[in-house]
Homo-oligomer: A and B are copies of this chain.
Amino acid sequence: MAPAPPPFPHPRPLSKVFLLSVLPIAAWFILRPTLSPVPPLPGLLTSVGFSLLAFLATIYLVPALGPTFVKANLKGRDLLKTYDTPIPESQGLVCASVYILCLILFIPFAFSDALFPPVDAGKPQDGISVLEFPHHQLSMYLSSILSILMATMLGFLDDVFDIRWRHKLPIPIVASIPLLMVYFAEQGNTSIAVPRPVRFILGNLINLGPLYYLYMSLLSTFTTNSINILAGLNGVEASQALIIAISVALNDVLYLPFPLNFHLPLHLLGNRAEIEFGGTWSAGMAYGSKELVERHLFSLYFMLPMVGVCAGFLYHNWYPARAFPGDTLCYFTGMAFAVVGIQGHFSKTLALFFAPQIFNFVLSCPQLFGLMPNPRHRVPRLDPRTNLLHPSHTPFPHPPSKLSTLVLHTLSLLGLTQLTLHPKSGMIMEATNLTILNALLVRLGPMREERLVRVVVAVQVAGSVVAFVIRYGLAGMVYDGDRR
């Protein structure tokens, strides 16, 4: 007997009691810093409050604006379903709008220390402290928002105008221009730390100069497009963004000055550098460096609302999806990750959290670079009778080259693709598409869409755990201390 078809995508119901109970919590986080005694890191509390509000706004607005999107012809059919109901598309725009508005309204709070210095600080209260204002950080903050807003805009234009693939590629570069321009105008640091084994050749620091700008724009291109190409299942884009945002936020929290003391058994992970510090983290991993604390606070201010909007959106985007993210979501989240990686100077750590995306990109390379035909859609194929997903195949119209044959046979040996060989000549006639989704189906067998999404989520979470192990365990062997 065939399993029952998935339910018709009416908007997912919202529990008013739940939503209304989050509201006072958000209000407390926002109001608490205004009460005396002012807690340490008041901006962080406000940011948590704003993120809760962003969560509420997204979870409420996505279904509320659905019909408006459908009416404006921003709608799509779910390719992996048996029904044809139009689903609102590009609703990542709602997330992006809430996110950016949140970041902008947060500006005075991010700089509350400078604006409202504590009364007991013993400074003369003459009302004007413009000279002490961190203008440099404000420019950084503004250029970040500007880049994210440009990415949103360009993502939405992509959704409306359906821009061709080769015109799409430079979009993140264009969106990263404000970031790079301000970095340049501020004469930002373009040096990177050299790994220990090659220091005897290159020295401790190497100045990349203009190459650093290339590196930054490539980073944004990568973070943006890598989320965009690992797509096609309900909830897969938003959950990637959510997990990466949580991982970055957790990493940031490690650097905050906590009032409590605690030990982590870091030596178990093979780290040497940490042990020397005795393991007492009374000031987080920043070890009293104001600059490190500020960088990671900056990153938290961007990541917490991201967690809020992604969680709110995922509620409606989860299988069976009632809302699609469109390119807009991939672009604005990808750009936000690039922004914190660049401005917070932890792009290498960030890249570790993108491990599944990097794997997916490397796996896709033979198709992206012409060793194998590349169809428009590479999502798995739905068998409507069993409601199971199977890996999708792409046939070779011409016999593959020797290089292609070699690469594909290697991937097949690794269990990442399935080849259909000519019964007589043994020539490759077709192969499953080279994406992590199809590879998972090849390895684990056909499964239902919701199960595959859970597997992808598990892979991403596992990736983040491994990333933390590498960053705080193995990296100590290659880099000393906590540079980036």
Contact = CB atoms under 8 A, between A and B. Distances in A.
A161 B104 contact: no
Nearest to A147: B104
Nearest to A100: B150
Given A135-B135, A150-B149, A142 B186 contact: no
B186 A130 contact: yes
Contacts of A115: 184-185, 187
A133 interface: yes
Interface stretch (A37-45, A174-182, A277-285, A423-431): A174-182
A7 to B, nearest CB: 28
A68 B105 CA distance: 35
B186 A133 contact: yes
A15 to B, nearest CB: 27
Contact of A187 (B101, B128, B136): B128
Which of A108, A157, A185: most chain B CB closer than 10 A? A185
- Interface size classification for chain A: 35 or more
Contact of A130 (B152, B153, B178, B187): B187
Contact of A161 (B68, B105, B178): B68
A217 to B, nearest CB: 13
B104 A177 contact: yes
A142 B153 contact: no
B108 A184 contact: yes
A275 interface: no
Given A146-B149, A161-B72, A138 B174 contact: no
Contacts of A465: none
A138 B182 contact: yes
Contacts of A184: 107-108, 115
Contacts of A146: 104, 142, 145-146, 149
Given A115-B187, A135-B139, A145 B105 contact: no
A146 B105 CA distance: 13
B130 A181 contact: no
Interface in A206-241: none
A186 B185 CA distance: 19
A248 B149 CA distance: 28
A111 interface: yes
A353 B182 CA distance: 33
A85 interface: no
B178 A142 contact: yes
A159 B178 CA distance: 26
A240 B157 CA distance: 27
B149 A105 contact: no
A211 to B, nearest CB: 18
A152 B100 CA distance: 14
Interface in A81-131: 93, 100-101, 104-105, 107-108, 111, 115, 128-130
A177 B142 contact: no
A73 interface: yes
A160 interface: yes
Contacts of A142: 139, 142-143, 146, 178, 182
Nearest to A142: B142
A441 to B, nearest CB: 35
Contacts of A74: 160
Given A100-B150, A142-B146, 11 more contacts: A72-B160, A104-B177, A104-B178, A105-B177, A115-B185, A138-B139, A138-B186, A145-B146, A153-B153, A153-B156, A160-B160
The 9 A-B pairs at the shortest CB distance, nearest first, are namely: A135-B135, A142-B142, A107-B181, A138-B139, A111-B185, A139-B139, A72-B161, A135-B136, A104-B178
22 contacts: A72-B162, A100-B150, A104-B146, A104-B177, A104-B181, A105-B181, A107-B185, A108-B184, A115-B185, A115-B187, A130-B136, A130-B186, A135-B135, A135-B186, A138-B182, A142-B142, A142-B146, A145-B146, A149-B150, A149-B153, A153-B156, A156-B156
